[in-house]
Amino acid sequence: MAKGSGLSIDSDPIGFFLHKPIVLNSFQEDQYIHRKNKLSTSTTTSTATSMDTTTAIQRSPPPTLQFPVNLNCTHVDDHHSDSPPPPSPPEKRTVIDEMDFFADDKNHVAKASSADDADDRKDLIGPRDLEFNVNTGLNLLTTNTSSDQSVVDDGISSNLAVLHAELERMNSENQRLKDMLNQVTSNYNTLQMHLMSLMQNQSKADNSEGHGVFEGKIEEKKSSDNGGGGVVVPRQFMDLGLAANGDTDEPSLSSSEERRSGSAGNNAKNGHGGGDDGPQLFDQEKKEFDGGLTAREEGPDQSNSQGWGSNKVPRFNSSKEADQTEATMRKARVSVRARSEAPMINDGCQWRKYGQKMAKGNPCPRAYYRCTMAAGCPVRKQVQRCAEDRTILITTYEGNHSHPLPPAAMAMASTTSSAARMLLSGSMSSADGLMNSNFLARTMLPCSSSMATISASAPFPTVTLDLTQSPNPLQLQRPPTQFHISFPNPSQNLSNSPAASLLPQIFGQALYNQSKFSGLQMSQDMADPSQMGHQSQSQPLGQHGSLTDTVSAATAAITADPNFTAALAAAITSIIGGGGAHNNATATTPTNNTNNTSNANATTSSSN
């Protein structure tokens, strides 16, 4: 094996955050030069794509004007003889002129006639509208008076009124769903505190009774994880609920973490002496935790608002089955693909590098990091450049933070955690988690794009969030008229729904909103001022690896669009209703995106 190959990346997270100059060896320099050469291309591409998206949005409105105009045609005819037309302000003609999309000779004839008197003008309104409806011109309006103006204005205003009413309705619904989510979140937190209290009592009871070796070791480990403070909860729960959730339904603590604790605490420098105890300790701890959770389950609403279904699945399996399930869950990962020039994306957390290896099939080394924001945080990540395109940085996260996160870290953490949770909820909804994941992956719509990928073919279930394509996050801001969401159909499986693909972002946003930060605000609060700004506004994706911006942009876009909140509600409903397998949230959009994820068993996105 190519150990010590020298293909190292200076990736001091702290230094990175502080704009510490990055020192590269010759190979890295080659890589970075290569990437820099490519950067202009990729940046240009991203920018162009963004512009295309914007243009597409701006082009959309005009044709819809026909409908209200026709409505007013009837209206005017009905009042033809009732009231004389008000004086026509000439200046309004310019407004009408702007609507003369289709001019032809007929309109000139009509224009001449319309100049005679108001009644004649009114008479012409009907035919003119008909002509308009069949794509003839509106030039006759250039001499029309206010009656015609009012016709158009009334049409537009009535249409606007309709739209406004619709918007208000959606906003109210949006607010209602937010309230519901907040309440569910609150209930969940309360439930979790109950659980902690219960577990604490249980652990004390077990300890006092002098039960088997596992319990004793668990106590030892728990104390170690909490800085020896004597707290007997498995891990500290953060107030945001995110990490607590992750700890609850996604046992992220790897065996090595146990080994590490054991080595440090007991075996000192003997290194691997505690290795064998790690998984057992964790499994036992996990069983206790799950058992307590199951016992305390109060109902689907509470248990799933943040647990995303994993918590709600009863854990009455035998110990062997539980071990299998836990092994699967422990390995759940979220991989984020993003274009980045930096050796490591700024996700707001602090990382310490603990290893580097050459991975098979990739000339680029894989770096291993663990979170150092809190002692005993089980989160690890692997950073590796894509072999095919070295401008793409693949960051794979495993586990959930056991500590409060700064705002800058919330977006990524919540997104990845939610993605993992989504995956796990799918896995846990079946006795065979992996097969279910495969099914979930395969049954996602083929027409979708590559924002989220679920891969069960890997040794561990992995969700891949592909952020290398800028259109996807931006497309989340498409006007509601181009993004239709239909609400749950109980007879359909969630996995059939394209909205399922939005769950990582949606859930991330939900969790993020829960923490009282908006995506935009978070983006502005980021530690690195150079990476401030709203990605969805204009900043091309992939510049300097501001992945957090990307995520926040996507999540902010979701927040901005009531339809996405509706999708969130639908998704939550889906999970609440059946571990992500009963109800259905459907987001129907035309798609034209391509899939660029190599291991894409299923990809989804909102696209147009």
List residues binding DNA (CB under 7 A).
1, 3-6, 8-15, 23, 254, 256-257, 259-260, 263-264, 267, 269-273, 275-276, 279, 350-361, 366-368, 372, 380, 382, 459
AA identity, residue 207: N
For DNA, which is the closer residue by CB, 459 or 529? Answer: 459
For DNA, which is the closer residue by CB, 46 or 261? Answer: 261
The two three-digit tokens of residue 555, written as one number: 């999540």
For DNA, which is the closer residue by CB, 126 or 273? Answer: 273
Give the total residue count for the chain: 608
For DNA, which is the closer residue by CB, 315 or 381? Answer: 381
Cα gap 439→481, rounded to integer Å: 32
**What one-character-per-residue DSSP string does 3-61 give?**
TT-S------HHHHHTTPPPP--HHHHHHHHHHHHHHHHHHHHHHHHHHHHHHHHHHSS
For DNA, which is the closer residue by CB, 357 or 544? Answer: 357
The two three-digit tokens of residue 427, written as one number: 């896995």
Minimum distance of DNA from residue 401's CB (angstroms): 15
Residue 210 Rama label (left phi>0; alpha psi -120 to 50; beta) = left
**Partners of 452 in beta bridges:** 465, 604
For DNA, which is the closer residue by CB, 4 or 529? Answer: 4
- Chain Cα centroid distance, residue 116: 61
Instruction: Count the Cβ atoms, other than its own, within 10 Å of residue 404.
Output: 17
Minimum distance of DNA from residue 196's CB (angstroms): 26
Closest CA to 498 of 578, 573, 590: 590
For DNA, which is the closer residue by CB, 54 or 266? Answer: 266
For DNA, which is the closer residue by CB, 273 or 291? Answer: 273
| Secondary structure class of 365 (helix, strand, coil) | strand
Name residue, tokens 């939900």: 510
Minimum distance of DNA from residue 8's CB (angstroms): 4
The two three-digit tokens of residue 549, written as one number: 């911006």
**Partners of 587 in beta bridges:** 485
Closest CA to 248 of 280, 197, 289, 295: 289
Cα gap 550→542, rounded to integer Å: 9
For DNA, which is the closer residue by CB, 21 or 210? Answer: 21
Name residue, tokens 């769903």: 177
For DNA, which is the closer residue by CB, 122 or 221? Answer: 221
Cα gap 321→313, rounded to integer Å: 14
Minimum distance of DNA from residue 258's CB (angstroms): 8
For DNA, which is the closer residue by CB, 28 or 306? Answer: 28
| Secondary structure class of 335 (helix, strand, coil) | strand
- Residue 64, burial from CB neighbour count under 10 angstroms (0-12, 13-18, 19+): exposed
Minimum distance of DNA from residue 259's CB (angstroms): 4
Minimum distance of DNA from residue 261's CB (angstroms): 8
- Chain Cα centroid distance, residue 224: 34
| Secondary structure class of 71 (helix, strand, coil) | helix
Minimum distance of DNA from residue 350's CB (angstroms): 7
For DNA, which is the closer residue by CB, 27 or 214? Answer: 27
Closest CA to 452 of 475, 494, 426, 422: 422
Cα gap 23→38, rounded to integer Å: 20
Minimum distance of DNA from residue 460's CB (angstroms): 7
Minimum distance of DNA from residue 28's CB (angstroms): 9
Minimum distance of DNA from residue 306's CB (angstroms): 25
Closest CA to 392 of 348, 437, 342: 342
Minimum distance of DNA from residue 342's CB (angstroms): 13
Minimum distance of DNA from residue 305's CB (angstroms): 30
AA identity, residue 13: P
Minimum distance of DNA from residue 317's CB (angstroms): 18
- Phi, then psi, of 84 in degrees rounded to 5: -70, 150
| Secondary structure class of 64 (helix, strand, coil) | helix
For DNA, which is the closer residue by CB, 141 or 377? Answer: 377
Cα gap 593→473, rounded to integer Å: 12
